[in-house]
Amino acid sequence: HIQNLEEKYRAKYVIKHEMYEDIILVLRDGWGDPQFKYWVQKHFTLVKNGDLHVVYNKGKVSCPVVTYEELYTKLYECHNRVGHPGRDKTWKEVLNL
C-alpha cells in the first residue's frame, strides 16, 4: 500500500523513530522548520506520563503513535493478549492501546 502512495506522502505514512523524536522536540520545545512544525502541530499532541513523553494523533479517536520499529512488537502483543483468535479481535485490541 505504501509503495502506491505519492512519493511525498511515503515518508510520513509510517513514523520512524527518528521522526518520532523530532515530533517530540517540536511539541515540547518548538524546535524545527516552519513547515514541519505546522504539520506536527496539526496532526499530533504530546502527553506526559511521568517522565515519559508520548505522542498521540489528533484524529477522531486519539491514539498513541506507534513507530515503524515498534509496529510488529505491538501487533504481536495485542494478538497474544486476546488469545490468538484472529485478525478482527486483534485489530480491536490494537485500537484500545
Return per-residue pLDDT of the chain as tens, 97 residues: 566 667 666 666 678 899 999 999 999 998 889 999 999 999 999 998 888 889 998 877 778 888 888 888 888 888 888 888 788 888 788 777 6
The whole-angstrom separation of Cα 4 and Cα 7 is 9
The answer on 44 and 6 residing in a single domain is: yes
* In a shared domain, residues 38 and 83: no
In terms of domains, do 14 and 49 share one? yes
Q: Are residues 55 and 73 in the same domain?
A: no
Domain that holds residue 73: 68-97
Both 44 and 88 in one domain: the answer is no
Q: How many CB atoms are closer than 10 A to CB 24?
A: 17
43 phi and psi angles, rounded to 5 deg: -110, -15
Residues 24 and 55 grouped into a single domain: yes
Residue pair 55/46 in contact (Cβ under 8 Å)? The answer is yes
Domain count along the chain: 2
Indicate whether 46 and 82 sit together in one domain: no
What is the chain's length? Answer: 97
Residue 8 sits in the same domain as residue 31: yes
Give the pLDDT score at 25.
95
| Pair (25, 47) in one structural domain | yes
Whether 10 and 24 share a structural domain: yes
pLDDT at 26 (0 to 100): 95
Q: What is the pLDDT of residue 68?
A: 84
Q: Looking at the structure, do residues 59 and 81 belong to the same domain, yes or no?
A: no
Mapped onto helix, strand or coil, the DSSP state of residue 44 is: strand
Q: pTM of the predicted model, to two decimals?
A: 0.75
CB count in 10 Å sphere of residue 30: 9
Return the beta strands (E) in 1-97 as ranges: 44-49, 52-57
pLDDT recorded at residue 18:
94
